[in-house]
Amino acid sequence: MTQNPRKAALITGAGRNIGRATVLMLAGEGFDVVVNGSSDRAAAEAVAAEARALGVQALVAMGDVGRRDECRRLAAEALAAFGTIDVLVNNAALRPQKPFLEIGPEDWSRVMAVDLEAAVWLSQAVLPGMIAQGWGRIVNFTGMNAIHGYAGRAPVSVAKHGAWGLTKALAKEFAAQGVTVNAVSPGPIAADDDEPGVENARSGYVAKVPSRRMGTPAEVASVVRLLVSEGGAYVNGQMLQVNGGAET
């Protein structure tokens, strides 16, 4: 699968883990990439350098996607650099752990802003270009929080359920314009900086996964690659679970 090198993808939360793996997976397919991070510019620059080594252009666009004005600025920078954004991957997320009765308005609003509303504002910014060219791909991330719900993570579960609802609504509204919108739901995924033996330390969690191991960021990114490819054009409004067979 070789993409037109003029296609460009914007990936939020791209400095590490699934975001980084997605940048490199799409760069390997010929996509120019916009690498977004919120605070760690060094990490974003390192990912961009890895992408350039694969022969594509890479723009580092720092910004807090939990703010609507920052989403609009970030999208404007990306559009100015590449003319259009063909692929949007809404990966950035917060997953704080806090008892429900201790959650304040600021706690709630912050998670909603990053985990849900960012996908709204960024989608609004890039959809006009996708519609004009008759081709576009949006991938939102949900996760086990959206499927199971977890004690101490009420705002995350609500926001991720909202991302799933947004996915289905946009998929129906823009399918006729050549735009697909899907969601990816990762299970337990190893982090870039996990120490050797981390699976043993999380054996109780891993034991619930039929595959008996944690997934890798690259395995999640491979599903994103399918969804944004020409071969994935008839997959729309779906939530693909990458969780080793964990009970849903």
With CA atoms as reference, report the closest residue to 236 among 189, 186, 177: 177
Q: Tell me how far apart the alpha carbons of residues 16 and 64 are, in angstroms, rounded to a whole number.
A: 16
Distance CA(103)–CA(154), nearest Å, equals 9
Within-domain flag for 3: no
pLDDT of residue 194: 62
Q: Report if residue 44 sits inside a domain.
A: yes
Q: What is the DSSP string of 177-204?
A: GTEEEEEEEE-SB--TTPPTTHHHHTHH
Segment (H or E) for 60: strand 58-62
Question: What is the per-residue pLDDT for 197?
Answer: 54
Beta bridge partners of residue 45, listed in sequence order: none
pLDDT computed for residue 144 by the predictor: 83
**146 is a domain residue:** yes
Question: 1 in a domain, yes or no?
Answer: no
Residue 118 within a domain: yes
pTM (whole model) above 0.85: yes
**From CA 202, how far away is CA 79, in angstroms rounded?**
42
Chain segment 102-154, per-residue pLDDT in tens: 999 999 999 999 999 999 999 999 999 999 999 999 999 998 877 777 889 99
What's the pLDDT at 195? 53
- What is the CATH number for 226? 3.40.50.720
Residue 225 lies in domain:
8-242
Question: 56 and 5 in contact (C-beta within 8 Å)?
Answer: yes
Task: Look up tokens 């977004």; give the residue.
Answer: 36
pLDDT number for residue 148: 79
Query: How many distinct structural domains can be found in the chain?
Result: 1
Neighbour tally for 230: CB within 10 Å: 9
Q: Is residue 135 situated within a structural domain?
A: yes
Burial annotation 153-191 (CB, 10 A radius, 16+ → b, else e): bbbbbbbbbbbbebbbebbeebeeeebbbbbbbbbbbbe
What pLDDT, on the 0 to 100 scale, is given for residue 205?
67
Evaluate whether residue 185 is within a structural domain. Answer: yes
- Asked whether residue 2 is assigned to any structural domain, the reply reads no
Per-residue confidence (pLDDT) for residue 177, from 0 to 100: 98
> Which residues lie below 8 Å from residue 145, measured CB to CB, with a gap of 6+?
95, 153, 156, 157, 160
Residues in the chain predicted with pLDDT less than 70, given as ranges, are 1-5, 194-205, 248
pLDDT at 150: 84
